[in-house]
Chain A
Amino acid sequence: MILASAGSGKTYQLTNRYIRLMALGAAPERIIALTFTRKAAGEFFDEILRKLAGAVRDEAGAAALAEAIECPGIERERFLEMLSLLISRMHLLELGTLDGFFYRVVRNFPFELGLAGAPEILDENAVRIEKLRVYDQVFRRPGAGEEARRDFLEAFKQATWGTEEKRLLTLLDRFVDEHHRAYLAAPEGNLWGRAARIWPRGNPWLAAKVDPEKELAVLEACFGGLTLTSRQRETWEKFRDALGEWKPGAPWAREMNTPVGNILKAWDQLQTGEADFTLGGKKLRVSGEGCRALVNLVCYLFGAELEKKLQVTRGLYDVLRAYETVYGALVRSSGRLTFADILILLSGAAADGGAPTLGQGGGEGGGDRLEIDYRLDARYDHWLLDEFQDTGYAQWRVLSGLIDEVLQDPEGRRSFFYVGDVKQAIYAWRDGDVRLFREIFDHYNGGAGDRIVERRMSESRRSGPAVIETVNRVFGDHAVLDALFPESSVKRWREGWDTHRAHYRDMAGCVRFVQASEKEARDALLLETLREVDPLNRGLSCAVLVQRNDTVQEILHCLREEGGFPVVAESDIRPGVDNPLGAVLSSLFQYAAHPGDRFAREHLLMTPLGRRAEEEVSGGLAVAGRKVLETVHRDGFAAAAADEIARLESLGDLDVFSRQRAEEILAAAREFDRSGERAITDFVDFLAAYSIRETGTPEAVQVMTIHKAKGLGFDVVILPELGGRKLAQRRKGLGVCRNKDREVEWVLDMPAKDIVENDEVLARYDAEAAADACYEKFCQLYVAMTRAKRAMYLIGEPVKPTSTSRNFMKLLDETLNAGEPESRRIGEVEADVVYEEGNPQWYLQIEGAEESPEPAAELPVRAFPGRPRRRRQTPSRAKARKVPAASLFSLESRESLDYGTRVHEIFSRIEWFDTDTPERIEAIKNEEAEVPMTAEACDEVLACLREKAIREALAPPGPQAETWRERSFEVILEDEWLTGTFDRVTVEKDESGRIQRASILDFKTDKADPATPLDVAESGYAGQLHVYRRVLAFMTGLEETEISCRLLFTQRRELVEVVN
């Protein structure tokens, strides 16, 4: 186990470990290395290969790598062997993501997991469409009838506690988004909103049976005996009236809050029967009955509120279960899965029988054991897990069987290695479970000594001394942490904390913390800092890190518009909706499908696209819309969008930005088209939700959230958004209480703060959740600060000395602000510099960016001898061109096609007609009776043969004649490649074998209307026969005029001469 601090080289360690295992003789395909992001997974392999290549290149490289992997003495040649081995096994290597590995398992065990076949991974768009289908089913419940809908309605009412909601779809979507994870963690209804589970020893509020009217009367009597000021009297009366009107479940009136708070403040005293209770701003001494009545009223209020929350939670469960049941049946069980579903399948959350165990036992599994080695063609001896702090408990449970096998290997030839940084655990909201790190260590080391060896790394190879010094000051000041934050959060932090050291002691850099009260001033400071440091012109990478996604766009706008900086957002951009082209295309599609949408129509008419359609297309926009529908259905959305973009482009209506967006929109459309869907509403929604990531480039300032920055490093980091709520605050939403085995104990829609604080169970849960949140916040700030290599600029609001906020600013202020801020002009802005470490002008030591070398010119392409690619033509292509739908979809015409083939076939058996021919054909009838249509085809041929002219056409014209029957040909004529088959050709030769004459006979077996004159029927074939004649002329060396050409209409038994 390696606990590695930021920048101390986790990937470096992991790749070294990989190479070391190989050096010790492990086959690379027996080493599995898993991480969380696909990007990181890709980098592993590149890094391993590059390291080995470096070691192969020269002795010094080999020596350095040998030392790094602690295998002294390994030489270049050995590294070369390893490199070659690695390359030859490339396809077998498992260096990927946990999600990818789990998917492979599910893909290879579909029937074991109750699927019908290979699963399909749903992308975001598909998930959204599936969810809408599920909602529709949940809402309408076709087949389930009124009762099921009523049940759902009742659940829904309970979940929303009767507060009517008009946007039900939106609300259900929100429920599912927010609580689906909780449902899957606790799919049993008896965990949701059950008082007995939450308070096994009972809850005083719920137990109290109070008649409020009686208690109010007692108090009335009690206050009557006291002298109340007019304000006290007024406050009391308002409280009394409000309470009188209040019904359990309704929100409390404002007038009730203060008195209830004051009762709680005097709670302990009230229990004694004598208390000073504040009413109307003044203390009032109450005793005896009065005390009891006050206590009882609060019990009544709290009890009712808790009862409501219990019911809401149970309602929520029923709603989620209804959704989940339909989702499971409609989507998951049909094998359409998200990565979350895959984990559900593997962790057994969807099955009744519990989770399967993964193992490597060579294929002979049993019960719930899935032996992965056989089916995955892989046996893993060595497990390397990266970013382990982000591993979730469910993920670990899936892996644990496999890891158990490793650690229990009797020969000890297998290994388990995990690395991560408990200080960077910022994915708890995505089920990342940082506690696992230590629990696993303790579990495997329990009793048996040191099966897992711990190593800590705190020397940063990323950040320079100024940054490291600042990080140490902020996170190593335990006194400040102790004073500000919950004890358990700080304790956990300390356990993972080591004072950091900078590996590159001489790296120039600086950290500056400035404060300004106004938002405008802070924005200006951001711009001025960038101007001062000028990172891009110095060839330095630079990132602006923020907490929220919304801020990314704000800052992006500020830097682009006001600062004129080249900037990219490492956040998602939405090409379908964030620009005029996307908007107009959306309107066009929307209008095409919904011509009554006046919004879309008028929007179109405001743009060149709509105006031109209205002016130039006959029928105006309505016809243009219909064309769009037709194109969409015929060729897909990408084709339809490309048409419109080309139209705008050809009219000169697109600028550079829109052209970039056009490419992105087309990529979106192509992606959508792959689903085969043609529903415009789905596409318009897809386009609106489609997002892409602007990827980083050293030529631009990158703006991103701290979460996105994890794993990255930048020369310069600016943190301009450090405000926000207190750190120790439970995440909003359901309370999900788990035991140490992560099993859910209970779920509750948490009540208001007053109640939580005054209930032992809820308060304990709240404190734990707040401490977890606080720890995660520490991690977030730590990640933000440790992204900086050389310099970091913190910009924030001044913290008032009286402030009791326990947020980032407070922490930074307490640890960095020595109390004597220096007022300084930074560019055009006056600001207080409260902290500075390193050389403020460090950037002057950095030389300008190296000119990037000109890209190597493409090698000149030699003019190679070209080769024409000819179009392949068949004579039948020259036939009549219109195919009526009636014949296209006619079974009869298919039958007649088959029938025709059979007739052709029988004719092909006749070399020359002679008297035995009819008899031979009669024989076919019997011999090939099982072949469909034989008898009819034979009869037709026989009927033809009864015609003299036909018999003659099939008879030898002379002694030197020969026939070609069903003969294919390939020929290049006038640079055109012709390919086809003659039905029957007769060639006459002279005695020397030279061809003198030739004739073509083409069988037409379709039913020509007997009333149609044959020259009309014939005309459709003239083109085809002309091609045959040309080909035959070429093949025989005859003139075309020397070749006769006849059609034999078999149904009419008529021969028709086709004149050239």
Chain B
Amino acid sequence: MPIARHFLTPERDLPSQAAGYLARDWEEGNLDLGAVLVVVSSRQAGRRLREALAVRAAASRAAVFPPVVVTPEFLVTYGFPRGGVASGAESLLAWAATLQEIDPGMFRAVFPTLPDRRDFPWALGTARELMRVKRLLAEGGWRMADIASREAGDLPEGDRWRDLGALEERYCRKLSEAKVRDPDEARIACAENPVLREQVEKVVLMAVPDPLPLALRAVERLSESLPVEVVIAGDSEPADLFDEWGRPRPDAWESREVPVEDEDRFHLGAGPGDQAKRAGALLAACGQPVKMAAVGAADAEVIPFLEHALPRDCGIDGYNPEGRPLRSQELYVVLGTLRDLLRSPSFAIAGELLRSPLFFRSLQADGSYPPLAQLLRAWDAFYQRCLPGDLDEGLRLARKAGKDAAVVRKVIERIRELLGELARGPVWKVLPEMMRALHGRRGFDESDDSDRRYTAAAGELMTLVDGLRRSPVAATIPRGADGLDLILALLGDQRVEEERPDAAVDLLGWLELAWEDAPYLVLTGMNERSVPETLTGDPFLPESLRRRLGLRDNRDRTARDQYLLEYLVRSRRESGRVEIVFGKTSEAGDPLRPSSLLLRCAREKLPERVDRLFAAPPASRARAPWTSPWKLAPRRVEVPETIGVTRFGRYLQCPFRFYLSDLLRMEPIDTRKTEMDGGEFGELCHAVLEAFGRDERLKRSADAGEIGAFFEERLDELVADRYGKTLSVPLMIQKESAAQRLAYAARVQAEERAKGWLIEDVEWTFGEGGELEIGGFSVRGKIDRIERNEDTGAYRILDYKTSDKNRHPREDHWTGLKKNDDPDELPGYARLSLDGKDGRWTGLQLPLYRRAVRDRCGDGVECGYFTLPKAVSETGVRVWEGMSPDLDGAALQCAEGVAADLRRGRFWPPARAVGYDPFEGLFFGIVEDLVDPAALAGGAGKEEEAP
């Protein structure tokens, strides 16, 4: 039958005209179009058409029995036999299996460089690329093998196509073994023999400027038995503007001007954010954007910026009918985490799983786990202490840790259980079970946006899983991580539609705009390569080959986009307006050019147009000076009645930072921790030395070898106890470092023993019973070692120091005044002259130790450090020779001063200069300007949250 062309005027909107066209013979009753098949450009276009039909019928108080509305892509799958055609998943799998089976060396034209690894992820990536090529070829009715055979001769890369053809054959064979056909070949066959529902009496190609070539073949075949009407929204004259299918002819459009007259319609934005801002301002100025306006985003990169800018700048939401990418949905992320865990059961990744709401809710539902905050605290504390690398190690260590890590052990076991289940069977089988287990009794409220999004994502997942389950290749579907890779690869490109808010402006892709009837249209992203959409370069199908094969090429797309732009402008000429926004750079900073279509103007106008479009981007706004929106008000906590000796030093260094570190206990968690921190390293060495000091026999030894052997053995035990047997490299290095330091310490110990020093006590604690009271505070401490010289009877107390530098005790207790120090700011008690130099106390540890042991060891006991520094040759005992009763007195006075200030609650002002300041990130070097000191004297704050 002849194919009839009909023209709609380009001066009016498309939906109402299209509805009018379809309803042109309708007289009364409900508008029944059930026997008409309408091909439209996209699903969104289909929605608009059906709405327009409903509106048209409603004007006559009628309803519509709608036509069958399909996209060109759907038309060529319309007649697929059920179950006979491979799904996308099956195709991908078959390709991946083919690739894993072959020897790439036999296909050197395709794989000139042999891949380093040929695992499933490689196969999947390569399969996706080959599927893309095959799909593109099928648009024109081609198979890979055709290219080499039919186009042989002067075709570039002929060998490559021959190899690809051979791969394709293997792939198809794989599918036919499973009794399914390749979907692209099925499409080609379907286009040759289109099957329609029997009641279709007419086919209308409704304003589709860029149909899939294969779909046209189908329509052509349908036209043999059915009337086909091609409706074109455009001028009927000159006659060569459109071809018989309503496609703009490149030759005719190339020399045509784009009727954008008003220069003020151009708006240049620096980057995508700026484009969105300009669009927001335009909408805000238009009064009633919800009723009148829509926004086009020719460059998808602008959409997230529009979604942010519109509510901010004009108080309305932007609605993207394309929906959100599924890869950003919670469910997808969790599957990704599980896949990562299966591939590498790292403790850190398990922590990510624990923090995902799906997982932690499932634990909470179980009822035997503590609240989330408590659970995470336990998890972090365990990790920080034991640094397990993977779950097995974590489990071993958690079991060993007993009650302290009971909950961690339970979580690990649960995760291992999940991973075990996932690895147990094919993904289609185990995933639904696992999902049900994780979700428990949870219900989803369909009226809630986020729940609906969630169920939509879940629906996509289950459709996919169900498809795999029923697939004839179900048995070959990989398990575990590879299986999840497959799922993620297939889900990743999908999108989840969202509910349209009542007051919103639509954000539409370029190809959807023809069906948009909002009178006020703001087009963003109007840059070259987006409009006209042009592609240059392709690993398989470059432009020259696409053209030769009759696939859609740049000229076709340019003509299409020029036509669309003209239509958008002309259809609003009478009662509407189009604004054109384009950017100077992409988000990544790549330079952009305005669409060349905007330069298709009268020749005499071209210079002005160039000036207008290629102007410098508007200057960025002036920046506000740095200010703080608030003053920080630390909560008030009471000073405890008992105080450790080392805290005096921290107070003396800076009372405010002392408040933060010692009273508020502000300590960050090192989330990237891979090794012991300084404190833990010291603790480890301390523990070895403590064990030595408690060994009644060994502590008498002066044999460095024997002592060293003990140290080594004890170190091994302690490290294995805390970190397990499989150490990471950093822990191995730290262990070696500790061993090296202890080996030197053993020599020193033997020498000291030879000098008569014998350990009398280790880790001697005081203060718990109020033995040492200063200024009303009970002062407590723990002395690493008390020893007595067997020859002289003298006592000595030593503190172990494992910091890298070999510090003298005096350096830790006193410092001379610096150039910038203001002596007047120092409280009197903190000042101390030593050796004729003005200075101040920076610590009171050793003098207070002396005081504490007075009853036991008498006055004037020797004090010092047993240092185990990085430069091991410097290992040794460093006694503070200058200690004297006067110094003790001054120290005590200082301690009393500190105690009195603590009682008074004096934590302000902060010290001006401190060495390393862990609080720098909060105070930006201007602590006095940023903190409200009054807060320190305010009401007491709440303690740690209730579970």
Contacts and interface: CB of A to CB of B under 8 A. Distances in A.
Given A602-B634, A889-B436, A619 B308 contact: no
B112 A111 contact: yes
A111 B584 CA distance: 34
B519 A867 contact: yes
B893 interface: no
A250 B945 CA distance: 53
B576 A864 contact: yes
A883 B436 CA distance: 13
Interface string A54-93: 1011000000000000000000000010011001101110
B733 A104 contact: no
Interface string A794-824: 0000000000000000000000000000000
A870 interface: yes
B82 A932 contact: yes
A150 B588 CA distance: 42
Contacts, number: 496
A698 B619 contact: yes
A1039 B870 CA distance: 94
A916 interface: no
Given A598-B665, A930-B83, A377 B432 contact: no
A781 B305 CA distance: 41
Nearest to A605: B635
Interface string A162-182: 011111110000000000000
B309 to A, nearest CB: 10
A91 B455 contact: no
Nearest to B947: A622
Interface stretch (B229-237, B241-249, B675-683, B747-755): B675-683
Interface string B190-219: 000000000000000000000000000000
A658 B465 contact: no
A42 interface: yes
Nearest to B918: A599
Given A660-B623, A883-B455, A884-B441, A676 B376 contact: no
A829 interface: no
B671 A109 contact: no
Contacts of B922: 583, 603, 606
A594 to B, nearest CB: 5
A894 interface: yes
A12 to B, nearest CB: 16
A593 B537 contact: no
Contacts of A42: 584-585, 591-592
Interface string A236-265: 000000000100001000000000000000
Interface stretch (B45-53, B790-798, B828-836): B45-53
Contacts of B83: 930-932
Interface in B306-331: 308, 327-328, 330
Interface stretch (B603-611, B818-826, B855-863): B603-611
Contacts of A168: 674-675, 729-730, 733-734
A611 to B, nearest CB: 8
Interface stretch (A194-202, A296-304, A631-639, A1006-1014): A631-639
Contact of B603 (A80, A333, A653, A673): A80
Contacts of B672: 132, 169, 681, 685
A868 B397 CA distance: 64
A238 B89 CA distance: 79
A648 B124 CA distance: 46
Interface in A626-662: 626, 629-630, 633-636, 638, 642, 648, 653-658, 660
Contacts of A52: 610
Interface in B414-454: 432, 435-436, 439-447, 450, 454
B337 to A, nearest CB: 8
A977 B290 CA distance: 17
Contact of A597 (B285, B286, B336, B669): B669
Contacts of B732: 149-150, 153
Candidate in B83, B442, B585, B666 with the most chain A CB atoms within 10 angstroms: B666
Nearest to A58: B607
B811 interface: no
B285 A858 contact: yes
Contact of A351 (B113, B126, B542): B113
A647 to B, nearest CB: 13
B376 A595 contact: yes
Contacts of B373: 595, 622, 625-626
Given A168-B674, A888-B455, A599 B728 contact: no
A678 B333 contact: yes
A113 interface: yes
A50 B125 contact: no
A328 to B, nearest CB: 8
B458 interface: yes
A581 interface: yes
B827 to A, nearest CB: 26
A42 B532 CA distance: 19
Given A50-B614, A657-B624, A894-B463, A166 B336 contact: no
A698 to B, nearest CB: 7
B898 to A, nearest CB: 22
A622 B870 CA distance: 42
A678 B924 CA distance: 28
A139 B538 contact: no
Interface in B888-934: 918, 921-922, 924, 930
A1041 interface: no
Contacts of A681: 671-672
B582 to A, nearest CB: 13
A225 interface: no
Contact of A881 (B282, B447, B506): B447
A168 B729 CA distance: 9
A966 to B, nearest CB: 10
Contacts of A87: 596, 599-600
Contacts of B607: 53-54, 56-57
Contacts of B262: 859
A138 B729 contact: yes
A375 B539 contact: yes
Interface in B277-306: 281-282, 285-288, 290-292, 304-305
B63 A970 contact: yes
Given A329-B117, A596-B381, A104 B537 contact: yes
A91 B455 CA distance: 42
Given A100-B590, A657-B624, A970-B50, A166 B737 contact: yes
Interface in A665-703: 666-667, 670-671, 673-674, 676-681, 684-685, 694-695, 697-700
Interface string B553-571: 0100000000000000000
A580 interface: yes
A153 B458 CA distance: 46
A580 B606 contact: no
Given A53-B606, A884-B443, A694 B945 contact: no
B628 A598 contact: no
Contacts of B111: 111
Nearest to B130: A117
B544 A377 contact: yes
A504 interface: no
B64 A971 contact: yes
Contacts of B924: 578-580
B537 A377 contact: yes
Nearest to A852: B619
**Most chain A CB atoms below 10 A, which of B115, B374, B554, B729:** B729
10 contacts: A52-B610, A88-B596, A90-B528, A90-B593, A91-B536, A91-B554, A110-B129, A581-B629, A858-B285, A861-B285
The 5 closest A-B pairs by CB, nearest first: A42-B591, A363-B156, A866-B291, A116-B125, A885-B439
Given A38-B590, A593-B376, A656-B624, 17 more contacts: A53-B607, A91-B536, A108-B542, A132-B672, A333-B116, A364-B156, A594-B376, A596-B376, A602-B634, A620-B942, A622-B945, A629-B357, A629-B372, A867-B292, A888-B459, A891-B466, A969-B66
